[in-house]
Amino acid sequence: MSSLLSTPQTSLAVEAKEIVRTYKIGENRIEVLKGVSLAVSRGERLFLVGPSGAGKTSLLYTLAGLERPNGGDVLINDRSLYRLGRLEQARVRNTSMGYVFQSFFLLPELTALENVMVPAMIRGKKAKERAHSLLERVGLEKRAGHLPTELSGGEQQRVAIARALMNDPEIIFADEPTGNLDTSNGVSVMNLLMDVAEEQQRTLLVVTHDNDLADLGDRTVTLVDGEIVSWGISC
């Protein structure tokens, strides 16, 4: 099987084909995604919007290789992600994808610098210099030695963004990255993500409930009850 890390042969970074995602609660089966298909171009900044419970996060996690679909397929650079074995999937996630979550998920016992280095440490690389450079990029070079508890919410999310960029991923997935921040910090963090994606021509997929933030992207896709009901070019 060809590796997902080989030279891309397509202009699409991510493609979902008839994705179905279900959960079983007691005797009830809940269908969260109902045959969703979506194509994301390389370098595109796409925002997923819709009401709570629409399936936005489930779709993002499925596209990102974090939740296996019950049906359908996800293609990364025109190659199936879920046909890979677990180790190869993990390698693709570590080398080709970066993740930013609403709750930051920083390791509390590690400093900001060490948190940023975690993805590279998994790969056995010594990357302190790059981690310092990324903290400088997000405006936190003077906070490198601080623990997460010594950082504000906005600062923690900036550390999380730097961590997501550590392995220079092709695709960045962000799930409500401003959800735990006040308006000012939220706008600052989103502008940072957008700037990084534009400067480095990275593909960016963002889940947000904020339609004003979604307007910053190239395109918005609206989900309702597990289905795409509209899509369009952002203003």
Say if residue 204's pLDDT is above 90. Answer: yes
Domain boundaries of the chain, sorted by first residue: 42-61+86-233
Cα separation, 226 vs 215, whole angstroms: 22
Torsion of CA 105, 111, 117, 121, to 10 degrees: -90
pLDDT bracket for residue 123 (50, 70, 90): low
Query: Model's pTM, two decimal places?
Result: 0.90
Q: Indicate the pLDDT class of residue 1, thresholds 50, 70 and 90.
A: very low
Burial class (CB within 10 angstroms; exposed 0-12, middle 13-18, buried 19+) of 153: middle
Q: What is the mean pLDDT of the chain?
A: 90
Pairing of strands 97-101, 45-49: unpaired
- Find all residues with CB under 8 Å of 92, minimum gap 6, and list them: 4, 5, 65, 76, 81, 84
CB 173 within 8 A of CB 100: yes
Pick the CATH number of 42-61+86-233 from 3.30.700.30, 3.40.50.300, 3.30.70.3040, 3.30.930.10: 3.40.50.300
Residue 144 confidence class, pLDDT cut points 50, 70, 90: very high
Predicted confidence band at 156 (pLDDT cuts at 50, 70, 90)?
very high
Which helix (H) or strand (E) segment is 15 a member of? strand 12-25
Q: What is the pLDDT of residues 88-100, one digit of tens each?
A: 998 899 889 999 9
How many other β-carbons are positioned within 10 Å of the β-carbon of residue 168? 13
Whether residue 14 is predicted with pLDDT greater than 80 in this model: the reply is yes
pLDDT computed for residue 211 by the predictor: 86
Give the H/E segment covering residue 31.
strand 28-41
- The tokens describing 171, both together, are 């695709």
Distance spanning both ends of the chain, measured CA to CA: 41
Q: What is the pLDDT of residues 32-80, one digit of tens each?
A: 999 999 999 999 999 999 999 999 999 999 999 999 999 999 999 888 9
204 residue type, one letter: L
pLDDT of residue 166: 94
Q: Is the pLDDT of residue 215 over 70?
A: yes
Q: Hey, what amino acid is at 139?
A: G
